[in-house]
A and B are shown apart, each in its own frame.
Chain A
Amino acid sequence: MSEPGLSPISADRASAGAASAGPAGVGPAGAVGRRLRVSAWVIALLILPLVVDATAGRAWVRILDVSLIFALLAMGLNVVVGFAGLLDLGYIAFFAVGAYAYALLASPQFDLHLSFILLLPLGAAAAALFGVMLGAPTLKLRGDYLAIVTLGFGEIIRIFLNNLNRPVNITNGPFGITRIDPLSIGSFSLAQPHTLFGITIAPIHAYYYVLLACVAASMVICRRLQFSRIGRAWVAIREDEVAARAMGINTRNLKLLAFAIGATFGGVAGGLFAAVQGFVSPESFTLYDSIMVLCMVVLGGMGHIRGVVLGAFVLTALPELLRLTGSLQRTWFGHVWIDPADLRMLLFGLALVLMMRWRPAGIWPAPHGRVGT
Chain B
Amino acid sequence: MTAPERNAGATEHPSTGQLSAHSASAATARAADVLLEARRIGKRFGGLQALDGVSITVRRGEIYGLIGPNGAGKTTLFNCLTGLYSHDAGEFRFDGAALDTGSPDRVARSGIARTFQNIRLFGAMSVLDNVMVGRHSRTRGGVFGAILRTAGTRAEESAIRNRALDLLGYVGLQERADEQARTLPYGDQRRLEIARALATDPQLLALDEPAAGMNAAETNALRALIERIRADGVTVLLIEHDVKLVMGLCDRVAVLDFGVRIAEDVPAVIQRNAEVIRAYLGAGDD
| A371 contacts B6, C-beta separation under 8 Å | no
Contact of B6 (CB < 8 Å), options: A7, A240, A373: A7
The dominant DSSP class at the B interface is: helix
A1 at the interface (CB under 8 A from B): yes
Q: Check if B162 is an interface residue, CB within 8 A of chain A.
A: yes
A10 at the interface (CB under 8 A from B): yes
For chain B, give the interface size range: 35 or more
The one of B10, B137, B143, B169 in contact with A230, judged by C-beta atoms closer than 8 angstroms, is: B143
Of all chain A residues, which has the CB nearest B2? A5
In contact, A242 and B141 (Cβ under 8 angstroms): no
Q: Which residues on B sit within 8 Å (CB–CB) of A369? A: 125-126, 178-180
Closest to B129 in A: A371
> Which of B120, B125, B161 contacts A20, CB < 8 Å?
B161
The proximity string for B residues 164-206 relative to A, scoring 1 for CB distances below 8 Å and 0 otherwise, is: 0111111000110111100000000000000011111000000
Contact of A247 among B134, B229, B234 (CB under 8 A): B134
Tally of contacts, chain A with chain B, CB under 8 A: 189
Which residues of A in the span 339-373 have a Cβ within 8 Å of any Cβ on B? 368-371, 373
Among the stretches A136-144, A167-175, A191-199, A231-239, the one at the interface with B is: A231-239
Q: Which residue of B lies closest to A371 (CB)?
A: B129
With contacts A251-B105, A371-B125, A371-B126 known, is A229 near B163, CB below 8 A?
no
Q: In the assembly, what is the distance between CA of A1 and CA of B158, in Å? A: 12
A229, B198: Cβ atoms under 8 Å?
no
Do A247 and B146 touch across chains, with their CB atoms under 8 A apart?
no
Cβ B169 vs Cβ A12 within 8 A: yes
B122 CB within 8 Å of chain A: yes
- Chain A residues lying within 8 Å of B120, measured Cβ to Cβ, are 240, 242-243, 246
Interface residues of B in 16-66 (CB under 8 A from A): none
Chain A nearest CB from B85 CB (Å) reads: 11
* Contacting pair A230 B125 (CB below 8 A): no
Query: Chain A: how many interface residues by the 8 Å CB criterion?
Result: 49
**B232 proximity list for chain A (CB < 8 A):** 9-10
With contacts A2-B138, A2-B159, A245-B105 taken as known, whether A16 is within 8 angstroms of B168 at the C-beta atoms is yes
Is B122 a contact of A243 with CB atoms below 8 Å? yes
A239-275 CB contact bits vs B (8 Å, 1 = yes)? 1101111111111000001000100000000000000
Residues of A within 8 Å of B145, CB to CB, are 228
Q: Are B108 and A247 touching (Cβ within 8 A)?
A: yes
> Within 8 Å of chain A (Cβ to Cβ): is B155?
yes
- A residues near B76, Cβ cutoff 8 Å: none
Known contacts A232-B125, A247-B134; 11 additional CB pairs below 8 A are A3-B138, A6-B162, A10-B170, A16-B169, A20-B161, A228-B141, A229-B139, A239-B122, A243-B116, A249-B136, A369-B179
Pairs of residues from A and B, 4 with the lowest C-beta to C-beta distance, nearest first: A248-B137, A248-B108, A228-B146, A8-B166
Query: A residues within 8 Å of B by Cβ?
Result: 1-13, 15-16, 18-20, 23, 221, 224-225, 228-233, 235-236, 239-240, 242-251, 257, 261, 368-371, 373
